[in-house]
């Protein structure tokens, strides 16, 4: 079943860096798909970001859409913690974890639950660095990540409204190419990413 998601803007982002220049890249630090990425003269970068999603309906295999009425409501609030560490000028490693609060109301039943989500870790290699300024040529980063299914899936839920589900339930991996060009007060970026989730076995209670 697919859900229509209204994704609101990130309401808070906090970056902490160990650096000689006291700012970090705003383009990727709070991204939901890309990890925390160090693009300045930093040794480490820690990012805390928040997001809020609200489901307003669903659609079945036929493509017919049904919007929720007053008797149903679903939303989630997520806090994501990301950290990147630079091994040297061109290599860095990253890790991210999140916790989320799910809310669901169906008729007279209502439940709200905090849960720990999946964990992501990986490495980044700067394929094309910028040692001297060029007005057009971008910096190119290659990013590989591994998804560890530490969150609980819907099939593992222990309550009737499934608000304790917070993970995909399967291992996954992703590879991304990230282009970044920074001018004095402006920057531009372009990302191509491929993600793949591996099959998993569901546990069904009888």
pLDDT tens across 20-76, in order?
332 233 333 333 467 889 998 889 999 999 999 999 988 878 888 889 998 999 999
d(CA 137, CA 130): 8
Structure tokens at 145: 């990540």
Specify the pLDDT at position 19. 35
The 3-state DSSP class for residue 189 equals strand
- The angle formed by the CA atoms of residues 149, 152 and 156, to the nearest 5 degrees, is 125
Q: Which residues, given as ranges, of the chain have pLDDT below 70?
A: 1-33, 199-206
Specify the pLDDT at position 18. 37
Q: Do 35 and 143 contact (CB within 8 A), yes or no?
A: yes
């Amino acid at each position: 079943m697919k859900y229509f998601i209204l994704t609101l803007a990130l309401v808070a982002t906090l970056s902490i860096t160990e650096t000689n220049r006291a700012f970090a890249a705003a383009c990727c630090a709070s991204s939901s798909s890309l990890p925390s990425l160090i693009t300045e003269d930093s040794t480490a970068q820690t990012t805390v970001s928040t997001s809020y999603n609200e489901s307003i309906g669903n659609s079945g295999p036929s493509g017919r859409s049904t919007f929720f009425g007053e008797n149903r409501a679903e939303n989630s609030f997520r806090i994501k913690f990301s950290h990147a560490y630079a091994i040297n000028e061109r290599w860095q490693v990253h890790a991210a974890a999140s916790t989320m609060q799910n809310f669901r109301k169906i008729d007279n039943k209502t439940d709200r639950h905090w849960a720990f989500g999946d964990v992501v870790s990986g490495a980044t290699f700067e394929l094309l660095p910028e040692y001297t300024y060029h007005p057009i040529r971008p910096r190119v980063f290659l990013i590989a990540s591994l998804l560890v299914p530490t969150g609980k899936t819907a099939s593992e839920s222990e309550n009737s409204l499934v608000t304790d589900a917070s993970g995909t339930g399967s291992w996954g991996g992703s590879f991304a190419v990230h282009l970044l060009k920074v001018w004095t007060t402006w920057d531009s970026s372009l990302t191509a990413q491929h993600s793949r989730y591996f099959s998993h076995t569901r546990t069904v209670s009888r």
